[in-house]
Structure 1
Amino acid sequence: MRGRLTADIKEEIRQRVDLVELASAHVALKKAGRHYKGLCPFHQEKTPSFHIDRERGLWHCFGCLQGGDIFDFVMRIGNLSFGEAAETLARRAGVRMERSPEEVQQATERDRVYRALEAAVGFFREQLLHPEKGRVARNYLERRGVDAQTTERFRLGYATPNWDDLLNALRTKGFPPALLSGGGLVHPRATGDGYYDMFRHRLIFPILDLQDRPVAFGGRALDDAQPKYLNSRETAVFAKGRTLYALNWARDAIRQRDEVVVVEGNMDALTCHQFGITNAVASLGTSLTMEQVLVLKRFAGKAVLVYDADAAGQAAMERAMTLFEEADLPVLVVVLPSGDPDELLRTEGPQRFRDLLAQAVPIFEYQVGMAALRHDPKTIEGRVRIVDELVPAVGAVSNPVRQAEYIRSLAQRFNLAEDAVRQRLRSRLRGKSQFPRAPQAVPTPDRAREQADGGWSARRCRRMSFKMRATAIWPGRYTRGQMIPSKGCGSASLTMASAC
């Protein structure tokens, strides 16, 4: 809980914090007359358009048209709320903000949790580097191609197999078990007698906030334990639905490129950074949330989704698309030939990955292409089904200009009257309080039977070759001669792809 910021305290902070010194940590500034200027930290540019008026304590970028005072700068550079920015600046200025006794107690408890989490990072690092205890985790990292520099930068660690190693180590440092439980590090036993470590025999990925403080951990099992990937539960300092793995390391690159690459897993994001794709983040699982999308929107002008090529990954990507449309954040889609980003980078190299990023297609092109694979666009009924399937996606678009363009594109692609598509959209959505979300990953009974009978399903992307899918989704980019049916795909798949 934050203290109250009175007008007097706010003015005192303004007087004590020099904007030029503050911004110099992020921008190389040069004096230009009465002002200072440099390359804007909030968008990519080659000619300096970021200006600071030191006397007035104001900044403005003539490129992206952003501006404000010290509070605005800290909010934007750190993706902080006003209260968080005020606290950051108050600490820098040595100004005490007014707090009630309850607020002081809550802030103290949060600080203790942060210290416990930092101590846990140190403990896990020690176990990883231990000659004997950490050998199994180091061998795993070596097999996965994670180098020492990446291991150190991302502060990777190892949780030993024992049930209370972390508990005992941190208790000797003065952290009581109840506090460790509040930080998501230990669980109370079912019997009510004592606690046990949450992470055991796992490779540990510390999850840091935008101030580089550990707030949670992700653990990858090093044996057959389930679940294979385990994240900390939500705590007073960790909200999973608002946190993205590696955003603290990626934010500067995201701002400079005005683009964020979104992957599924922690290892995917880590490998991206190791191979120079430094604007990559992970969604801490397959279920991206609107809160996470809105966080990304504060940093990037567009997103590129690179999810796993399996059915679960493709279904998760389809769900995520709707969130980006609702948030009015342009999104592109990369269809991997197989596997996941980590595997592709390690086996085919970063240039292959960059080539796929360069070939990313806009979300609506992808959705139209996949719908055309599921239904025959040569028939009237097929075109009706395609339009009906795309209604939720078009209806979820919050930007009216983009929605109108999607309707126009859909009508032209399938030789339909634009008014008819618009009328179908209105009739399908009439009476609904909000637009429907993208379909869930659970297959319908009909689709399950179709799969059991050896039929084809677009969600089962691995049953169809990458080039066949690419030909259907992006007509003209690949020739028909490149289409090679995958094992298990019948002639119907080839016919559908060719018909698009």
Structure 2
Amino acid sequence: MASGHGNIPEEVIESVLARHDIAETVGRVVHLTKRGKYLWGLCPFHSEKTPSFTVTPDRGVFHCFSCGMGGNAIKFRMEIEGLSFPEAVKIMAEESDIPIPEGKGGVLSASDPERDRLIQAYEWSAKFYHYLLKNTEHGTAAMEYLRSRNFSDKMIDQFQIGYAPDRWDTLLQFLEKRNFDLAEMERGGLLSARGEGKGYIDRFRGRVIFPISNRTGKVIAFAGRVLGEGQPKYLNSPESKLFNKSRILYNLHQSKASIRKTRQIVLFEGYGDVISAWDAGVHNGVATMGTSLTENHMAIMKSMADEIVLSYDGDRAGQAAAMKAIPLLEGNGLRVKIALLPSGMDPDEFVSRYGGDRFREQVIESAVSTVKFKLIYLKKNHILLEEDGKIAYAKEAIEIIAMLHSSTEREVYLREIASELDLSYDSLKQDCNLLRASMQKNLPEGDINDKRWNNGRHKKGQVQTPTLLPAYHVAERRLLSFMLQDPEAASYVSERLGEDFNIDDHAAIAAYLYAFYAQGKPPDISRFLSSLQDDRLEKTATSISMMDTPPDWNVQVLDDCIREVRRFPLQRRMELKREEMIGAEKNGDFLRAAQIASEIIALERQ
């Protein structure tokens, strides 16, 4: 992901880095352990069992020695949450109450014109659909549907709900009149292609439109609910350069202030639930985009909250989804509670029938622990009036309770079951203790058994195998390592070598470094990384900054490295000349071979 500064002033970027400690930023997602000058953990960007991911607090950088990922706190948030550089800076600035000066707010104007045009198109399309819903005959039936769902005018406006008429070209004409490129609009998910060379039609037709915004509040996609009968019932915008449903939580842009204040997120299954809950006073609610929880969703939530309240539907499917989500969330170090609803009822229906106050007090604020929920869920699978059902339930319940570390918690739940089933507490406790002893004995060996939650985010990725680097490559890295630590070393290399590094990335890093110091800035790897405009350069510079190069240097060391760097192109030319000479000899052109031999001797002298 290439970074672009947009219109963000340098002082804002520097303030963001100063206020967001790298160890704290990374520590919200990765369990870190101090070892020497580094903090170590399991890399969140690829799957591994032995920690090779490091954080260096005094340099403000993270780096994985296996997969090569690295950068500063801004880069970490970008990669974990799927943000562009400007988006990450804006979010981090908001979190630290760092003002972005007037006239400098074009933070989303990164170096991607198509992305900017799509955002503009979605923003205007959302306003257009909202207008059609509220002010035209097209929207009458949709408005009646929303009223039947108890959506007030205030909520319709707050969530910018709209309506796409059941016609082929309503939005098409709207976008055409505003000179948008229709092929771009199709790639962005607003239009659909009729077929090869046959033009375009509206993607959303005859649907109530729920705009989906990113964390900064820009509309980046739509969810359309069909009006009346029809399939699919819900239609989302397709994946695009704006929209990736595995990285987006519906309503996060409006709920983030309440989430930060409470350190709690209420997670719903659908848009309607979020909107009804907001009307009921639950302002920290979000929903996934018609998909199950992903690692990215959990990383975003973990960066903002400590506790998740799952408010899924009260039917079997909703409860099964909650059961599936619990280990994922807890596995990422989040506390989890479950909001209980009457069987078959969803949050939207509960608010409509019983009102917002009862929903807040009896559902959200009365959410139960995951153990309590698992026991309730388990109980529904057994007939407790029969002895076999009672014994089977007690056995399975003990398996859940035995997992608890706290003996007090275990006692509370065991006494509840003993009372409920009219069984002896002592016998249940004995069975539980025997099971715990068996579990301890059978724990698999490994380096991360007690850090199970730190495994949750790992994505399978290509791990780089360390290779022996050629001498000139090592010399270039060593020079850059000295230069990153000392402007005088950079000045010395600039005068004698300039940008004549053999490896393009090294030459680019050197050029950026000369410019960085020319602005009078002190050595600071974290701030320097933010001046780079390329993802690969950031990784390379971070890797070089991790070298154990002593901060003090002398002219002899730099000269030796420079000589090695300059020697390589000469050696390469000599190799090519030798190949050319052999070719000339094979062809019987001995005069040309002798001429090349003299050229090789001249190169050797150099």
TM range (shorter): 0.5 to 0.7
* 1:141 paired residue number: 146
**Change over 3 Å in CA distance of 1:257–1:18 after alignment to 2:** closer
* 1:369 paired residue number: 376
Query: Do residues 421 (structure 1) and 435 (structure 2) align?
Result: yes
Q: What displacement does 1:195 show?
A: 2.0
* 1:352 paired residue number: 358
Query: Do residues 266 (structure 1) and 271 (structure 2) align?
Result: yes
Correspondence 1:383-422 to 2 at 5 A: 383-386=394-397, 390=400, 414-422=428-436
**Change over 3 Å in CA distance of 1:252–1:80 after alignment to 2:** farther
Kept in 2, the 8 Å contact 1:375–1:386? The answer is no
Q: Which amino acid aligns with 1:370?
A: Y
Q: What displacement does 1:145 show?
A: 1.5
Query: Do residues 249 (structure 1) and 263 (structure 2) align?
Result: no
Q: What displacement does 1:408 show?
A: 7.5
**Change over 3 Å in CA distance of 1:336–1:4 after alignment to 2:** closer
Query: Which of 340, 365, 369 is 1:335 aligned to?
Result: 340
Correspondence 1:42-61 to 2 at 5 A: none
Kept in 1, the 8 Å contact 2:378–2:393? The answer is no
Correspondence 1:69-468 to 2 at 5 A: 83=85, 84-86=87-89, 92=100, 107-190=112-195, 193-285=198-290, 287-337=292-342, 338-356=344-362, 357-375=364-382, 381-386=392-397, 390=400, 414-422=428-436, 425=439
Deviation per residue, 1:99-153 (Å, 9 max, x gap): xxxx976x11211111111121122122112331111111112222211121111
Secondary structure of 1:134 counterpart: helix
Higher relative contact order (CA 8 A, sep 6+): 2
* 2:495 paired residue number: none
* 1:461 paired residue number: none
Q: What displacement does 1:420 show?
A: 3.0
Question: Aligned partners of 1:423 and 1:17: how far apart in 2?
Answer: 48
Q: What displacement does 1:380 show?
A: 5.2
**Change over 3 Å in CA distance of 1:135–1:372 after alignment to 2:** closer
Q: Give the TM-score normalised by structure 1.
A: 0.63
Question: Aligned partners of 2:171 and 2:140: how far apart in 1?
Answer: 18
Q: What displacement does 1:375 show?
A: 4.4
**Change over 3 Å in CA distance of 1:234–1:386 after alignment to 2:** same
Question: Aligned partners of 1:221 and 1:104: how far apart in 2?
Answer: 35
Q: Which amino acid aligns with 1:208?
A: S
**Change over 3 Å in CA distance of 1:80–1:170 after alignment to 2:** same
Q: Which amino acid aligns with 2:164?
A: A
**Change over 3 Å in CA distance of 1:15–1:209 after alignment to 2:** closer
Secondary structure of 2:293 counterpart: coil
* 1:495 paired residue number: none
Question: Aligned partners of 1:12 and 1:290: how far apart in 2?
Answer: 30
Question: Aligned partners of 1:12 and 1:314: how far apart in 2?
Answer: 45
Secondary structure of 2:212 counterpart: strand
**Change over 3 Å in CA distance of 1:386–1:161 after alignment to 2:** same
Secondary structure of 1:133 counterpart: helix
Question: Aligned partners of 1:387 and 1:18: how far apart in 2?
Answer: 49
Deviation per residue, 1:447-495 (Å, 9 max, x gap): xxxxxxxxxxxxxxxxxxxxxxxxxxxxxxxxxxxxxxxxxxxxxxxxx
**Change over 3 Å in CA distance of 1:416–1:113 after alignment to 2:** farther
Question: Aligned partners of 2:274 and 2:441: how far apart in 1?
Answer: 42
**Change over 3 Å in CA distance of 1:335–1:17 after alignment to 2:** closer
Q: Which amino acid aligns with 1:259?
A: Q
**Change over 3 Å in CA distance of 1:104–1:299 after alignment to 2:** closer
Question: Aligned partners of 1:251 and 1:367: how far apart in 2?
Answer: 29
User: Over alpha carbons, which structure has the higher Rg?
Assistant: 2
**Change over 3 Å in CA distance of 1:175–1:354 after alignment to 2:** same
Kept in 2, the 8 Å contact 1:376–1:383? The answer is no
Q: Which amino acid aligns with 1:214?
A: V
Question: Aligned partners of 1:331 and 1:383: how far apart in 2?
Answer: 24
What is the number of equivalent residue pairs in this alignment? 365
Question: Aligned partners of 2:18 and 2:140: how far apart in 1?
Answer: 49
Secondary structure of 2:325 counterpart: helix
Deviation per residue, 1:329-381 (Å, 9 max, x gap): 11111121142111111111112102222221111221123224424786655
Question: Aligned partners of 1:15 and 1:282: how far apart in 2?
Answer: 32
Kept in 2, the 8 Å contact 1:207–1:246? The answer is yes
Deviation per residue, 1:6-42 (Å, 9 max, x gap): xxx85685489999xxxxxxxxxxxxxxxxxxxxxxx
Secondary structure of 2:211 counterpart: strand
Secondary structure of 2:434 counterpart: helix
Kept in 1, the 8 Å contact 2:12–2:100? The answer is no
Q: Which amino acid aligns with 1:350?
A: G
What residue ranges of structure 1 are gaps of 5+ in the alignment? 20-70, 98-102, 395-399, 438-500
Kept in 2, the 8 Å contact 1:221–1:227? The answer is yes
Kept in 1, the 8 Å contact 2:82–2:247? The answer is no
**Change over 3 Å in CA distance of 1:332–1:187 after alignment to 2:** same
**Change over 3 Å in CA distance of 1:422–1:208 after alignment to 2:** same
Secondary structure of 2:210 counterpart: strand
Q: Which amino acid aligns with 1:351?
A: D
Question: Aligned partners of 2:105 and 2:315: how far apart in 1?
Answer: 53
Kept in 2, the 8 Å contact 1:260–1:302? The answer is yes
